[in-house]
Amino acid sequence: MELLDKLNWRYAAKAMNGETVPEDKIERILEAARLAPTSSGLQPFEIIVIKNKEIKEKIKPVAWNQSVITDCSHLLVFVAWDTYTEDRINYMFDLTNDIRGFKNEGWENYRQMLLSSYPQKPAEENFNHAAKQAYIAFSQAIIAAAFEGVDATPLEGFDPAVIDEILGLKEKGLRSAVMLPLGYRKEENDWLVNLVKVRKPMKDLVTLID
């Protein structure tokens, strides 16, 4: 119940007050994103945390001039791999072996299966798959922010090509997927804060097959 209360409290803040979110809260929100499940456990994305005022100012005009970009405390940018490469796949499989301290034939066969499929696919298809995984972490960050009493604005309204340029993502084989400004709501400037949350009824969402 407590979780649902927090999810009802949260909303996509349209105005923030510029107050700083304590680093321990930010760390727990990022940890929730890190713990997100991903397809084959590949975690094909990174998170860029922007506190820098000048960079936020640069981003704002290519993000529909949304005030939360500059009035947030920390701007998270979820960036996904531009494609799956052998190195990237091997990195996660090797990391798993290192952390668990053993090699397993079934796991190694699974590695080979991924190596013989993903890298051969078109980069755009791979990026779209990687971006979907980034959204899972994004969603966990949204929930964690609500849990911490931190406001967040899920934000897709930006020009990804320009953001990629500002953040120098291309050279790193990354592309921006979605953003999450974190901060505190500024109620007096926010038209959404007192409006009732609208969601379709459960019957239009869920089909039970008994």
Ligand X SMILES: Cc1cc2nc3c(=O)[nH]c(=O)nc-3n(C[C@H](O)[C@H](O)[C@H](O)COP(=O)(O)O)c2cc1C
Beta bridge partners of 80: 45, 175
Using the rule CB under 6 A, is 197 a contact of ligand X?
yes
From the CB of 138, what's the least distance to ligand X, in Å?
7
The residue among 89 and 146 lying less far from ligand X, judged by its C-beta, is 146
Q: How many amino acids of this chain bind ligand X (CB under 6 A)? A: 11
Q: Which of 143, 154, 162, 166 binds ligand X (CB under 6 A)?
A: 154
The residue among 95 and 192 lying less far from ligand X, judged by its C-beta, is 192
List of E strands, 89-192: 151-152, 174-183
Helix axes 2-9, 123-147, angle to 10 degrees: 110
Q: Which of 65, 124, 157, 189 binds ligand X (CB under 6 A)?
A: 157
- Per CB under 6 A, the segment of 47-55, 89-97, 155-163, 180-188 that binds ligand X is 155-163
The residue among 11 and 93 lying less far from ligand X, judged by its C-beta, is 11
Using the rule CB under 6 A, is 178 a contact of ligand X?
yes
The residue among 15 and 114 lying less far from ligand X, judged by its C-beta, is 15
From the CB of 16, what's the least distance to ligand X, in Å?
11
Using the rule CB under 6 A, is 156 a contact of ligand X?
yes
Structure tokens at 148: 């911490």
State whether residue 173 is helix, strand or coil: coil
Using the rule CB under 6 A, is 12 a contact of ligand X?
yes
Q: Among residue numbers 83 through 142, which ones bind ligand X (CB under 6 A)? A: none
Q: Which of 126, 42, 46 is nearest to 78 (CA)?
A: 46
174-183: strand order across its sheet: 45-50, 74-81, 174-183, 151-152
C-alpha to C-alpha distance for 181 and 195, rounded to whole angstroms? 21
Neighbours of 205 (CB within 10 A): 8
The residue among 11 and 84 lying less far from ligand X, judged by its C-beta, is 11
Under 8 Å between Cβ of 130 and 19: no
Using the rule CB under 6 A, is 155 a contact of ligand X?
yes
C-alpha to C-alpha distance for 20 and 2, rounded to whole angstroms? 25
Using CB under 6 A, list all residues that contact ligand X. 11-12, 14, 66, 153-157, 178, 197
